[in-house]
């Protein structure tokens, strides 16, 4: 039950994009079409779940026993970068359709701050191994939800008569603000 | 190519013309997250500038020794080293500020502004130019964060840098210091700046057209005078 609450809290109440501002770059950059936004979300969720497993193990099994905590940022980012590379090669080998769907988005994920943010939050909030995985999965689901919703709105927005200076990034940010306000409605849920 | 742009231009272009936040829409995460107050914004911008300047320095120094295939990983490692330094210094010297910024200090590592400058500029230019460019971009980032932070602080808490600006009867807009306010403020600011520059462009264009029309009119009504 507690794990379910943790999942819901990471996915909806404390949505990574809309209340922690993590992963804003892809949120604004790749939210033009629902299909590509959804693929990006899936790719990110996939990497986030694996990242939460690997960084937890590295932090608690290697860095803490050897008192190397000051190396955490350097080691986390190295792990994430190589993990993304590895996942890309693995998917390419195992499933061609999945690779075609996620392929171009995977390299972008390395510099998605949601991934590094997730690893840092797991250390900061002292989650256990299982909690870490659930948190990663929840955060990824929340990211997918936010970016897909945004893409849906932006597809409609193409038909709207937006003043010229506001086209592109400004109107996207304003829509994101309204979306964030809507998500504030979940605040009392947990 | 190296001498086409003067050194001062190298610095100045980052301030406004290619402003990272308002023009290039880079490094959005820290911009939105830490600008609850002007003070946090300034601290964040200074930390980012430090990491940016030193990473640009090192990258442009060793650019010829980094193999192209692993350059991104190498840049990120260099950036991560400097961000670790910033984080440790802030924890020791400014504990309250470090606490307020929380995980957003380590997240400077994945700030696309820094990686973008390494890839687009520092890896192709001399050390001096790379450092000047980094300083300019950092200052531009500071301007943007200060503008956004002080606007949000002014409406959200009635103060700027902790000084009371609004009269006592002013009821603070809670929305401004909540996440939604960050998106709205930045979106509106970006839109207004674009409106302004569009207007300036239009005025310039109109004045040229105007001049041409007037000259034509003069030529039509009074051919002798025009000649």
Q: Do A21 and B186 touch (CB under 8 A)?
A: no
Average pLDDT of chain B to the nearest whole number: 85
Cβ-nearest to A21 among B29, B111, B195 = B29
B:116-145 residues touching chain A, CB 8 A cutoff: none
Structure tokens given for B40: 């946090």
β-bridge partners, B160: B163
Task: Please tell me whether residue B163 adopts helix, strand or coil conformation.
Answer: strand
Confidence of residue B59 (pLDDT cuts 50, 70, 90): very high
Q: What CA–CA distance (Å, rounded) separates B32 from B50?
A: 20
Rounded to two decimals, the pTM is 0.83
Q: What CA–CA distance (Å, rounded) separates A36 from B189?
A: 28
**CA separation, residue B126 to residues B1, B39, B130 (Å):** 12, 34, 6
Confidence of residue B220 (pLDDT cuts 50, 70, 90): confident
Dump pLDDT digits (tens) for B116-165. 888 888 888 889 999 999 999 999 999 999 999 998 888 888 888 878 87
> CA of A76, closest CA in chain B: separation in Å?
10
Diameter of chain B by CA atoms?
A: 80
Q: What CA–CA distance (Å, rounded) separates A59 from A132?
A: 12
What lies within 8 Å, CB to CB, of A99 at 6+ separation is: A88, A91, A92
CB A120 within 8 A of CB B103: yes
Quick check: A159 contacting B, CB < 8 Å? no
pLDDT by residue for chain A (190 residues), tens digit each?
A: 788 888 888 888 888 888 888 888 778 777 788 888 888 888 888 889 999 999 999 999 988 888 888 888 888 888 888 888 887 888 788 878 777 776 667 777 777 788 888 998 888 888 999 999 999 999 999 999 999 999 999 898 888 888 888 888 889 889 999 998 888 888 777 6
Quick check: B80 contacting A, CB < 8 Å? yes
The 3-state secondary structure of chain A reads CHHHHHHHHHHHHCCHHHHHCCCHHHHHHCCCCHHHHHHHHHHHHHHHHHHHHHHHHHHHHHHCCCCCHHHHHHHHHHHHHHHHHHHHHHHHHHCHHHHHHHCCHHHHHCCCHHHHHHHHHHHHCCCCHHHHHHHHHHHHHHHHHHHHHHHHHHHHHCCCCCCHHHCCHHHHHHHHHHHHHHHHCCHHHC
DSSP B63: G
Q: Do A78 and B77 touch (CB under 8 A)?
A: yes
* End-to-end Cα spacing for chain B: 43
Q: Do A110 and B72 touch (CB under 8 A)?
A: yes
Task: Please tell me whether residue B90 adopts helix, strand or coil conformation.
Answer: helix
Q: What's the pLDDT at B30?
A: 81
Dump pLDDT digits (tens) for B172-209. 888 888 888 889 999 999 888 888 888 888 888 888 88
ipTM: 0.82
Q: Do B191 and A163 touch (CB under 8 A)?
A: yes
Confidence of residue B61 (pLDDT cuts 50, 70, 90): very high
Q: What's the pLDDT at B223?
A: 64
Cβ-nearest to A19 among B179, B186, B190 = B179
Q: What's the pLDDT at B1?
A: 43
> CA of B195, closest CA in chain A: separation in Å?
5
CA angle, B154 then B156 then B158, to 5°: 45
Structure tokens given for B26: 């880079």
Q: What CA–CA distance (Å, rounded) separates B46 from A180?
A: 28
Query: Pairing relation of β-strands B163-164 and B159-160?
Result: antiparallel
Domain positions in chain A: 2-185
């Amino acid at each position: 039950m507690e794990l379910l609450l943790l999942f819901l809290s990471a996915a909806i109440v404390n949505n990574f994009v809309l209340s922690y501002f993590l992963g804003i770059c892809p949120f604004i950059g790749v939210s033009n079409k629902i299909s590509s936004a959804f693929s990006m979300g899936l790719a990110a969720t996939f990497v986030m779940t694996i990242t939460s497993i690997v960084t937890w193990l590295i932090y608690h099994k290697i860095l803490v026993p050897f008192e190397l905590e000051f190396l955490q940022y350097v080691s986390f980012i190295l792990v994430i970068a190589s993990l993304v590379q590895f996942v890309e090669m693995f998917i390419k080998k195992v499933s061609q359709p999945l690779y075609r769907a996620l392929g171009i988005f995977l390299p972008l994920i390395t510099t998605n701050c949601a991934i590094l943010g997730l690893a840092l939050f797991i250390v900061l909030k002292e989650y256990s191994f299982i909690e870490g995985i659930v948190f990663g999965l929840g955060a990824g689901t929340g990211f997918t939800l936010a970016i897909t919703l945004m893409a849906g709105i932006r597809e409609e927005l193409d038909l709207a008569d937006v003043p010229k200076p506001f086209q592109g990034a400004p109107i996207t940010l304003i829509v994101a603000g309204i979306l964030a306000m809507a998500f504030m409605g979940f605040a009392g849920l947990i | 190519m190296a001498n086409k742009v003067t050194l001062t231009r190298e610095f100045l272009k980052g301030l406004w013309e290619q402003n990272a936040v308002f023009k290039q829409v880079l490094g959005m995460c820290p911009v939105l997250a830490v600008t609850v107050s002007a003070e946090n914004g300034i601290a964040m911008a200074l930390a980012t500038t430090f990491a940016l300047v030193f990473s640009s320095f090192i990258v442009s120094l060793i650019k010829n020794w980094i193999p192209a295939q692993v350059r991104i990983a190498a840049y990120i490692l260099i950036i991560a080293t400097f961000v670790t330094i910033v984080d440790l210094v802030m924890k020791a010297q400014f504990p309250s500020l470090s606490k307020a910024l929380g995980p957003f200090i380590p997240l400077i590592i994945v700030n696309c502004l820094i990686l973008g400058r390494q890839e687009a500029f520092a890896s192709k230019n001399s050390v001096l130019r790379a450092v000047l460019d980094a300083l300019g971009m950092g200052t531009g980032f500071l301007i943007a964060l200060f503008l956004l932070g002080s606007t949000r602080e002014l409406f959200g808490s009635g103060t700027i840098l902790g000084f009371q600006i609004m009269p006592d009867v002013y009821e603070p807009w809670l929305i401004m210091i909540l996440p939604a306010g960050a998106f709205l403020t930045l979106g509106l600011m970006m839109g207004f700046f674009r409106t302004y520059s569009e207007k300036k462009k239009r005025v310039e264009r109109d004045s040229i057209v105007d001049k041409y029309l007037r000259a034509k009119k003069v030529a039509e009504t009074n051919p002798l005078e025009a000649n």
